[in-house]
Amino acid sequence: MLDDESKTERDSLQEFPGDPFLTDIEKDVYSWQLDVRDFGESGQRKLKGASVLISRVGGLGSVVAYELAAAGIGKLILAHAGNVKQSDLNRQLLMTHDWLGKPRIESAMRRLKELNPRLEVLGVAENITVENADRLVGMADCIVDAAPMFQERLAMNDAAARQGKPVIEAAMYELDASLTIIHPPKTRAFRDLVPDVPEGWTRRFPVFGAVSGTIGCMAAMEAIKVIAGFGDPLINRMLRVDLRTMRFQTIRLM
């Protein structure tokens, strides 16, 4: 049950103008989730009318993209540079052996269109930088941050804050993961949590695909809740997950 304050926060996230009608095929494909309480056809139409930018479709972002495509999001903008490597394949579920040495973004787009041919997907073979962040953020209603480097997270959050767009902040390390929503001024800015790039963080981190996939599913669900306007998103709260002990903790960020 939401209290009035939470309802106000939740409702204020409803800034997505698109609300197209569903075709008969879409009503059939999504019929099982149309039964979800507080979601229904209204929520499905909001998903269809929304666009989501995902920063990197690696271990975490690939699962976010897959779940959003399956759920019927209207448009995905995927930002990820580089070619598929063998060492990607333990976790980057949109990459395949037959695409080794070829652009990751093409593999991701191909797999997503196989799952949902109605999906509009724009692939950008770039990682987020200070230079391109405003342009890419400007293409989407909602952002999912799944980038491995803090430089990318800071650049994208700065751009999203300037444009008033919500960011689903998802991250993992070994068997730990964290998830929250950043949407100033309704929440603190990402720079309040991370003022600058932390010392000691490296490009390579220990990871099982099952860990990035777990938090990827949760991030996708948060994006669906924010876009469709139901449930109780992680506003001013951070979920901390320890899959080594299966301990889940919600931390207040005030």
Residues near another protein (CB under 8 A)? 56, 58-61, 146-150, 153, 170-174, 176-178, 188-189, 192-201, 205-207, 212, 238, 240, 242, 245, 249-254
Nearer to another protein, 176 or 232 (CB): 176
- Where does residue 126 rank: exposed (0-12), middle (13-18), buried (19+ CB within 10 A)? middle
Coil/strand/helix, residue 51: strand
Host H or E run for residue 78: strand 75-79
CB of 62 within 8 A of CB of 68? no
Distance between CA 45 and CA 21 in Å, rounded?
A: 6
Structure tokens at 216: 């990827």
Of the pair 46, 80, the CB lying nearest another protein is at 80
C-beta of 21 vs 201, nearer to another protein: 201
Based on CB atoms, which residue is closest to another protein, 34 or 235? Answer: 235
Least Cβ distance, residue 199 to another protein (angstroms): 6
CB-wise, 37 or 252, nearer to another protein? Answer: 252
CA 83: distance to chain centroid? 21
Q: Give the nearest distance from C-beta 167 to another protein in angstroms.
A: 13
Q: How far is the CB of 215 from another protein (least distance, A)?
A: 9
Q: Tell me the residue length of the chain.
A: 254
| E strand or H helix at 179 | strand 176-182
CA-closest candidate to residue 17, choices 134, 141, 136: 141
Q: Least distance from C-beta 78 to another protein, angstroms? A: 13
Q: Is the CB of 26 or the CB of 169 nearer to another protein? A: 169
Residues 123 and 107: their CA atoms lie apart, in Å, by: 10
Cβ 216 to another protein shortest distance, Å: 9
From the CB of 198, what's the least distance to another protein, in Å?
4
Name which of 44 and 92 has its Cβ closer to another protein.
Answer: 92
Q: How far is the CB of 160 from another protein (least distance, A)?
A: 16
Lookup: tokens for 102: 């070829």
**Per the structure block, which two tokens stand in for 40?**
């229904």
Element of type H or E holding 34? helix 31-34
